[in-house]
Structure 1
């Protein structure tokens, strides 16, 4: 079993509220717009990090992290990308590949809008954790945490941090 903390859109911001939940996770996943290597280094000192770069991330971030990250953890296939859209409105860049080979868990960020939707058509769970940083139009900073045990994704929690 793995306890996962899912972040997105930190935009160079990390604080004790986020770090409290980082410490409780087995792994931290970041769905892009990280903003700075300081965020990366702070998380990596505490827990393993899997991440993708987002549209605001510079060449250093793009050297360290991919645009798309695909992997299997326990028995769950995962695809993380920053700009992915959502069921019935997936981004054109990934739409065809997603339909041909859907993962069990599809994660993206970018919108700053927290969404967890089961896509019946592709038989996958879509997650967007919203935005953990203070930059953007969102009013409440959000993150997700959940567990993966064999092929099951369970104990999903929406965590609302302080208002931006």
Structure 2
């Protein structure tokens, strides 16, 4: 199976979920056009409270469709946009990508992967118990964050469901993703 965009979502107002759209437009250095989290500096409320002048490394949020399938086995019903992501993907292990990976989405858009999404308590408000499904432990007891990845827009363009995703991993040594 090749990597593809399955859904795109955006919201101009602060809310946990984002409605699905027919397309979104990525703007270089800003994020998703019309999305509340677009901007050069941080736009997530928790980040603004810490330091509103910090660069926005969370311009675009991507989640793999396979996560929804995984949590469904545990009885949770989650779909594209429900966890606030802008782009839902399939056929790509987003969490295994190293920092700095470049994702070419469709014909024009380019997103550089900056890190992992830090799951927040709002996930349990959305569905009680879901947070434990998107935060796990590996064999060594280390924390595994599964709620998607974040990126910055290097080249703008329109992204639609069905668009292919080309992955360009940076030259090594690779840095594993950390929360941003």
What TM-score comes out, normalization by structure 2 length? 0.23
Q: Which has the larger radius of gyration?
A: 2
More strand by share: 1
More helix by share: 1
Q: Which of structures 1 and 2 has the larger relative contact order (alpha carbons within 8 angstroms, sep 6+)?
A: 2
What TM-score comes out, normalization by structure 1 length? 0.24
